[in-house]
Amino acid sequence: MTAKHEKGREKILTWLDEEREDIVGLLKAFLRAPSPNPPGNTLVAARVVRDYLDSCGLEHRVIDPHPEMPNIVASFDGESPGRHLVLNGHIDVFPVPDDRHGWTHDPWGGEEADGRIYGRGACDMKPGTTASIITYCLLHRLQADLCGRLTLTCVSDEETFGPWGARYLMEHHPEVHGDCLLNGEPGGPESIRFGERGPLWVEFTVRAKGAHGAYVHATESATKIAMAVARDLEELTELEGELPHNVASAVDAGRPVMDRMMGAGAGDLVSRVTLNIGLIEGGEKANMIPSECRFTADLRLPVGMDKSDLLPRLAEIAERYPGVEWQEVGGDAPSWCDPHHEMVAILQRNVEAFGRPKPTPIVSLGGTDARLWRHNGVPAYVYGPYPHGMGSHDEHVDIEEFLHVVRTHVLSAWDYLSIETRE
């Protein structure tokens, strides 16, 4: 790197140090603006983002095909032509139970305790979205030293596959596609996610005659049939995808890291179909044989597999039982990109520069909006904090880990777009 490039890095690190409390304050304000999805209203949280951009004197636009789910997009060009880097994060978060079961901190309080910040969205993914915002704002100060374009996309509706969020932007606003995407979803700073499995949500409906609970000879039970179907769906978890060699070797190399970050067995799951029965509803009374039962299966397809590989197996299982109907109710294909891309090396170099272990490229178990860029041929990489309490109670992020993710995103964007690194 040249002296000019290093000077830019030094400026960035100085700003991050001097503005530490402001950056942490932005995250806390973001967490204190509830944005659960469902129902999906993100207006208050989006206002936090807009106010911050306004305070930095940065123009932005709101794209809101759904009036309660705005998407915030901003973009600027560097001094000379070059590549286009897109930053992406989502505003919506998981809902919180009405009784707040298990929470010892206010889920909408953004409370700081013992070096952590608590709240719904404190790992998924308001820290990552904050990292994108800070990256955009700081690099705008270095606009004259950049080539290409930097775009910020803060989107709604990620938790429900993004029809009003990133998916809408990708389908109707090609100006946000770019040449590379950087995202801060939680996964753990020991990893860089270059791919993810594909969710396939299938709703099963079982109908039977129904009767008094004592007359089990008179009819089948819709709930018993549903339980049998769910049991048979476990057969699908033995199926694996087929990958190109360079991707398969990266997946294998990432298994130990996945086990360490996500618990023993995570590395084995990445290349197999998994099954979760997320919703089930049936019956009206304990002494009535149910005439109807519905349940929704969340199947996750490994990279190297398409839903067309699975749908005939689903049909065959359903046909084993009378009165069973099924339909897809959501999902997307698995996605992956080059695990040896330049951005991977940039992220690794910046992480190692501060004494942390070199992050390993992996395929994630969960899904992110990054898949939408990969589906459009854009390499997309995810580097974020650990998923502490994600989708559960007392969700939180370690403050130093959060600041590390911010630093890594800013420096990596600088390296990717810096004029000095392109010459």
- Residue-wise pLDDT tens digits, 15-44: 999 999 999 999 999 999 999 999 999 999
Question: At residue 62, does pLDDT exceed 60?
Answer: yes
Are 123 and 36 in the same domain? Answer: yes
> What percent of the chain is modeled with pLDDT above 90?
88
Residue 20 is predicted with a pLDDT of 98
- Among the three residues 287, 307, 331, which one is the final residue of a domain in this structure? 331
**What is the Cα–Cα distance from 372 to 355, expressed in whole angstroms?**
33
Are 135 and 282 in the same domain? Answer: no
Are 276 and 348 in the same domain? Answer: no
CATH of the domain at 148: 3.40.630.10
Mean per-residue pLDDT, 313-320: 97
CB 395 within 8 A of CB 388: yes
For residue 191, the surrounding DSSP H or E stretch is strand 191-196
CA distance to 50, 81, 166, 197, 280, per residue, from 367 (Å): 26, 33, 13, 7, 22
What is the torsion angle, in degrees rounded to the nearest 10, for the CA atoms of residue 175, residue 177, residue 181 and residue 183? 80
Please name every residue paired with 336 in a beta bridge, in sequence order, or none if there are none: 195
Sheet holding 116-118, edge to edge: 112-113, 116-118, 396-398
CB 289 within 8 A of CB 210: yes
Residue 4 is predicted with a pLDDT of 85
Tell me the pLDDT tens digit for each residue of 109-155: 999 999 999 999 999 999 999 999 999 999 999 999 999 999 999 99
Question: At residue 423, does pLDDT exceed 70?
Answer: no
- Within 10 angstroms of residue 221's Cβ, the number of other Cβ atoms is 23
Residue 263 is predicted with a pLDDT of 83
- Among the three residues 331, 362, 381, which one is the final residue of a domain in this structure? 331
Mean per-residue pLDDT, 67-74: 98
Is residue 400, in this structure, part of any structural domain at all?
A: yes
User: Average pLDDT over the chain, rounded to whole?
Assistant: 95
Query: pTM of the full predicted structure?
Result: 0.92
**Tokens (6 digits) for 273:** 């179909």
Are 216 and 156 in the same domain? Answer: no
Question: At residue 365, does pLDDT exceed 90?
Answer: no
**What confidence category does residue 421 fall into, taking pLDDT thresholds of 50, 70 and 90?**
low
Residue 159, CA atoms < 13 Å, CB-side half-sphere? 20
Question: At residue 397, does pLDDT exceed 70?
Answer: yes
CATH of the domain at 234: 3.30.70.360
Tell which residue, 114, 111, 324, 367, has the closest CA to residue 206. Answer: 324
> Residue 130, SS3?
helix
Tell me the pLDDT tens digit for each residue of 231-279: 999 999 999 988 888 888 998 999 998 888 888 888 988 899 999 999 9
Are 327 and 339 in the same domain? Answer: no
**What is the Cα–Cα distance from 42 to 251, expressed in whole angstroms?**
36
Question: At residue 409, does pLDDT exceed 80?
Answer: yes
Is residue 152, in this structure, part of any structural domain at all?
A: yes
CA distance to 29, 30, 116, 158, per residue, from 48 (Å): 7, 6, 21, 18
- Among the three residues 291, 306, 331, which one is the final residue of a domain in this structure? 331
What is the torsion angle, in degrees rounded to the nearest 10, for the CA atoms of residue 185, residue 186, residue 192 and residue 193? -60
Is residue 251, in this structure, part of any structural domain at all?
A: no
Is residue 252, in this structure, part of any structural domain at all?
A: no
Are 33 and 181 in the same domain? Answer: yes
Is residue 254, in this structure, part of any structural domain at all?
A: no
Is residue 270, in this structure, part of any structural domain at all?
A: yes
Mean per-residue pLDDT, 191-201: 95
**What is the Cα–Cα distance from 343 to 254, expressed in whole angstroms?**
17
Are 294 and 409 in the same domain? Answer: no
Are 279 and 383 in the same domain? Answer: no
Are 391 and 319 in the same domain? Answer: no
> Residue 276, SS3?
strand
**What confidence category does residue 160 fall into, taking pLDDT thresholds of 50, 70 and 90?**
confident
Q: How many domains does the chain have?
A: 2
Are 95 and 208 in the same domain? Answer: no
Are 363 and 313 in the same domain? Answer: no
Residue 422 is predicted with a pLDDT of 55
Tell which residue, 26, 1, 122, has the closest CA to residue 411. Answer: 1
Are 215 and 185 in the same domain? Answer: no
Amino acid at 232: D
Is residue 344, in this structure, part of any structural domain at all?
A: yes
Is residue 258, in this structure, part of any structural domain at all?
A: no
Range of the domain at 295: 200-244+264-331
